[in-house]
Amino acid sequence: MKLKTEELRKFLSAAAQIKPNPVATNLDSIKIECTGQEIVFTKTNNNIWCKYSYACQPQPIENYLVNEKLLNGIAITSKEYEVEVTAHVDGINLLVISGADVLKIGLQDLALFPQMPNITSTERERISKNIVERIRTASKYISNSVAISPMNFVQVGIDGIFATNGSILYYYKAFPLPDLFLSSEPLNIIRARKGKEEDQQDDDLLYSKSESYDFFQLEGFTYGFIKSVVKPLPYAQIIQATGTDSFTFNRQDFVDFCTLVQYSKKQEHLNATLISTEGKKLILKYIDADFNINVIRDIAISASGPVQEFTFNPDWVEILLKSLSYESLTFTRVGEGHCAVTSSEDENYKGIIARLADK
């Protein structure tokens, strides 16, 4: 069986995002199949599946299990166009040949590798590259807490994309989308290719499902993620909060303040404030009396009147600001003193920054 080295590298790069299953040592290998005119690579940890296929010249039908670490070594060191995998004449070993390099390893029992679940749905829903990018943006907002809660997931539903860690919130209005709960691992694995403009239609994900798995297909890849059973958050109620006290500013000006704080701070949990008495200049302050640190920055704003003082965590606000591509943002005071974030450049986006208790 001859494998194109670049195709092998492409698969291994994607499959590397799948964390090993600590109790299933038999899953440290990749299943390699030749169907006659197609090469198929498959990796799983029993919760996530990654399959990649590409067309090849006619070859004999063969199936092997090859250790993933060994394949990575071949992919890194090989200077050959193709790598050959073939059974040894002794019937108990396998040869992996890359130019002058010949590796002999023991044949593995294919029965050790589980069967990939079948896609039972006959319908495939198209998720555009734009929406995939929004989902990946939302992934920056999820909680990393070991105590699993809805905040550990990006929640995708009929009304759009939602994610929050309790301090910042991301919402993007899009319709219609399948109901999904995506944790950090699937979010890291799903990648939208940044192709040429004329190939944009090929960048869309195709979504389908089985009883226990969600499946995504893109560029020869099929990813299967075991469904997460999570109670959804009532995000529709959360993002409907409105207010009238608002101001507009250049996003990068606020980012620069947060960056200065990051390079000045000596503690992890910190508060900063913003206020404007005239509605023309916003005063951003981070003051740490314990370490004699003052970071004060004025930025130009457009506001109808004075802006009330607002206390926030600059670490979280920096994450929110840097995740967005809009140049101009508007902050609006909403219910319970929190701050909504919107942009005239995209009416479908809305964020929320949680107000911190004043010191």
Strand order of the β-sheet with 246-250 is 180-182, 154-157, 160-164, 168-173, 346-353, 339-343, 328-333, 246-250, 293-303, 281-288, 272-276, 307-312
Over residues 61-88, the pLDDT tens digits come to: 999 999 999 999 999 999 999 999 999 9
pLDDT at position 56: 96
CA distances (Å), origin 37, targets 55, 64, 82, 220, 286:
6, 16, 16, 14, 63
143-180 per-residue burial string, b: 16 or more CB within 10 A, e: under 16: beeeeeebbbbbbbbebbbbbbbebbbbbbebeebeeb
| Parts of the chain with a pLDDT under 50 | 192-201, 359
What is the token pair recorded at 228?
A: 């997460």
Please give the sequence-ordered ranges of beta strands (E in DSSP) within 197-338, or none if there are none: 205-209, 213-218, 221-226, 246-250, 272-276, 281-288, 293-303, 307-312, 328-333
pLDDT at position 358: 55
Cα separation, 297 vs 254, in Å, equals 9
Label residue 263 exposed, middle or buried (CB < 10 Å: 0-12, 13-18, 19+): exposed
Cα separation, 156 vs 161, in Å, equals 5
What is the token pair recorded at 289?
A: 């009396």
> What are the structural domains of the chain?
2-112 (3.10.150.10), 125-231 (3.10.150.10), 241-353 (3.10.150.10)
